[in-house]
Chain A
Amino acid sequence: SYELTQPPSVSVSPGQTASITCSGNKLGDKYTSWYQQKAGQAPVLVIYQDTKRPSGIPERFSGSNSGNTATLTISGTQPLDEADYFCQAWDSSTAVFGGGTKLTVL
């Protein structure tokens, strides 16, 4: 079965750029989505089709996908961006999630 691998944690200082990676075999040949989940809340879609932002998601969130790695980038990270982030892709008629990355803003 297909697997997506994320680092368990990433730390960033306020105002700096945070990058969260998601790795999978030939992931660049698929489309990746990203979800933000704050403590005690449901996940929220922040990026779909590798690079697109849903309405209402700030421009500081961006995505890329090439080779075996997709990346979620948060520019000018704010304390309110502290959350768990999950990547997700579709493979062989199955939705697959990465294990999640805890983003700490300190």
Chain B
Amino acid sequence: QVQLQESGPGLVKPSETLSLICTVSGDSISSGHYWGWIRQPPGKGLEWIGSIYHSGSTYYNPSLKSRVTMSADTIKNQFSLKMTSVTAADTAVYYCARDRITSAAQNWFDPWGQGTLVTVSS
């Protein structure tokens, strides 16, 4: 059974960098899938942030691309998210998920981690 677990600070100051790690168990991040980050502001909908392949290949949401960097650590079976210059608008629950991107230009997210709330406040 594949499980994902997000970890990282729950509070980040404005203008600083948000850093999260997703630890995967039950599957290898080198298994041929992409791995993604999705966020959800309190009471709002889902927003895709980006997805990464174990080789380092990435897809990013164009609206966040200038502030986001994702990386993968195949030894630790983890992938990570860094988002710079955060503001209160970046306050959200951040989820990591396995991203089943296929060659037919389609994808779906399954399974998801439980999510971690990150609050941006001084």
| Residue positions of A touching B, CB distance < 8 A | 1, 30-31, 33, 35, 41-45, 48-49, 54, 86, 88-90, 93-100
CB distance from A52 to the nearest CB of B (A): 9
- Contacts A35-B109, A88-B109 known; A94 to B104 CB distance under 8 Å? no
Among B55-87, those with CB < 8 Å from A are: 59, 61-63
- A-B CB proximity, top 9 nearest: A31-B106, A95-B48, A33-B108, A45-B110, A48-B108, A97-B46, A42-B112, A100-B45, A90-B107
- Contacts A42-B115, A43-B112, A88-B109 known; A98 to B45 CB distance under 8 Å? yes
* B61, B99, B109 — most chain A CB neighbours (10 Å): B109
- Contacts A31-B104, A90-B101, A94-B62 known; A99 to B109 CB distance under 8 Å? no
Q: List 11 A-B contacts (CB under 8 A).
A: A42-B95, A42-B115, A43-B46, A43-B109, A86-B46, A88-B108, A88-B109, A90-B107, A94-B48, A95-B109, A100-B45
Are B109 and A42 touching (Cβ within 8 A)?
A: no
A84 to B, closest residue via Cβ: B45
B47 at the binding interface (Cβ < 8 Å): yes
- Could you say which residues of chain B place their CB within 8 Å of the CB of A30? 105-106
B98 to A, closest residue via Cβ: A45
- Could you say which residues of chain A place their CB within 8 Å of the CB of B108? 31, 33, 45, 48-49, 88
- Could you say which residues of chain B place their CB within 8 Å of the CB of A97? 38, 45-48
CB distance from A97 to the nearest CB of B (A): 4
Are B62 and A54 touching (Cβ within 8 A)?
A: no
Are B112 and A44 touching (Cβ within 8 A)?
A: yes
Are A93 and B109 touching (Cβ within 8 A)?
A: no
Are B48 and A48 touching (Cβ within 8 A)?
A: no
- Could you say which residues of chain A place their CB within 8 Å of the CB of B106? 30-31, 49, 89-90
